[in-house]
Amino acid sequence: MTKLLETQDFSVSFRTYAGEVQAVRGVNFSIEQRERVAIVGESGSGKSVMTQSFVHLLPSPPAFIKSGQVLYAGTNITNHSFHQLRRIKGAEIAYIFQDPMTSLNPTQKIGRQIIEGIRAHTRVSAEIAKAQAVGLLREAGIPSSEKRMEQYPHELSGGMRQRVMIAMAISMRPKLLIADEPTTALDVTIQSQILGTLKRLNEDLGMALILITHDMGIVASIAQRVAVMYGGCIVETGDVLSIFENAHHPYTRCLLASVPRLNENSDKSLAYIIGSPPDMLAPPAGCAFAPRCRHSMRCCFEETPPYTRVSEGHEVACWLSDPGAAAQAKVFMSVWRDMQ
């Protein structure tokens, strides 16, 4: 398959009064056409910063691309101007933000906001744009679409507002849709409906989907491939089955172990990750997860681990996967099995 979007040694920082915050550090990431990729990790791991930097959605200053490049459909768009990116944003790469109430204009009706987006990218009449908007709301799973067009954001539920954001995002039939934790603060039933809608649109429209989340349950239900981020770096990537059944990075395994399971004894303590995420003003010299890892070695604190190929399409950045750490890796695997 053809790579739709790819980053090479991509780094993003923020200039602050305290110094340079290195939010994303040397990331190599890609997504193919029609693919569904989940980016998972704790808050502050760099997930949103990385994806918003693809098309310069972050204010600059303070944000800036420190190094690397972003290739979209084979074209380097890293240094594109505002007007060049405007032809891509919304039309070819669409973004669904975490909180729809901060993305929707509270003083304008839903219909007007969708129509405005349609007419910003196409030369159609107001009547045609309105008909398209009604169809988009229906496509996003909103009943009584004509009625919803005349309502304000505060008159809709959280799930309905998120569906409005989906309708706006797919209005131009983008090739890539990025959804930043689209089910946050929604109940389980609505979460399932929103994820089902995104998956259906991915299949029906043929668009690629990047889903940002920290919920491994959501990853299992929708993703084809997973990229695990920690400390501004991708520490492990692979297809969803390989990650869930054969995760190699201690951080990935800790994330999986912290998910409650219905088939387990309720008296058993839920696993958790000790310590705190790294200070990105002064990120560690070696592996960012080393201070929190029970199996860290001296080399973990001194040098950044290279990527090791686990299987086809499955790579991990961990010294435990190095052939020289076979004995330590055996202990790690034994402890991991006890955690299951």
pLDDT tens digits, residue range 201-218?
999 989 999 999 988 888
State the Cα–Cα distance between residues 286 and 273, nearest whole angstrom: 19
- 337 — pLDDT class (breaks 50, 70, 90): low
Q: Give the residue-averaged pLDDT of 295-312.
A: 89
Statement: residue 89 has pLDDT above 80: yes
State the Cα–Cα distance between residues 315 and 52, nearest whole angstrom: 24
Statement: residue 321 has pLDDT above 90: no
Residue-range domain boundaries for the chain:
1-92+175-340, 103-171
Would you state the pLDDT for residue 123?
A: 85
Would you state the pLDDT for residue 102?
A: 82
Contact in structure between 46 and 5 (CB atoms under 8 Å):
no
The first and second tokens of residue 161, run together, are: 């507002």
β-strands 233-239, 208-213 pairing: unpaired
Statement: residue 90 has pLDDT above 90: no
Statement: residue 1 has pLDDT above 60: no
CA angle 137, 104, 218 (to 5 degrees): 70
What average pLDDT does the structure give for the chain?
A: 88
Q: Mention every residue, 6+ apart, whose C-beta is less than 8 A from residue 257.
A: 271, 336, 339, 340
Would you state the pLDDT for residue 130?
A: 92
Would you state the pLDDT for residue 72?
A: 94
Statement: residue 311 has pLDDT above 70: yes
Would you state the pLDDT for residue 229?
A: 96
Statement: residue 336 has pLDDT above 70: no
Instruction: Identify the CATH homologous superfamily for domain 1-92+175-340.
Output: P-loop containing nucleotide triphosphate hydrolases (3.40.50.300)
The first and second tokens of residue 258, run together, are: 């912290």
Name the percent of the chain lying above pLDDT 90. 56
CA angle 99, 221, 7 (to 5 degrees): 65
Would you state the pLDDT for residue 120?
A: 83
Q: Give the residue-averaged pLDDT of 152-171.
A: 91
Would you state the pLDDT for residue 232?
A: 95
Closest to 140 in 3D by CA, of 158, 122, 160: 160
pLDDT tens digits, residue range 110-160?
999 999 989 888 888 889 999 999 999 998 888 889 999 999 999 998 889
Name the percent of the chain lying above pLDDT 70. 93
Would you state the pLDDT for residue 328?
A: 61
Q: Give the residue-averaged pLDDT of 214-227.
A: 90
Contact in structure between 5 and 34 (CB atoms under 8 Å):
no
- 322 — pLDDT class (breaks 50, 70, 90): confident
CA 148 to chain centre: 29
Statement: residue 331 has pLDDT above 70: no
Contact in structure between 17 and 189 (CB atoms under 8 Å):
no
Backbone dihedral angles phi then psi of residue 271, each to the nearest 5 degrees:
-65, 150
Beta bridge pairs of residue 315: 237, 309
Q: Is 287 helix (H, G, I), strand (E, B) or coil?
A: coil
The first and second tokens of residue 92, run together, are: 């070819």
Statement: residue 295 has pLDDT above 80: yes
Q: Which contiguous run of DSSP H or E holds residue 229?
A: strand 225-230
State the Cα–Cα distance between residues 33 and 7, nearest whole angstrom: 15
Backbone dihedral angles phi then psi of residue 81, each to the nearest 5 degrees:
-75, 170
The first and second tokens of residue 196, run together, are: 């089902």
| Maximum C-alpha span of the chain | 70
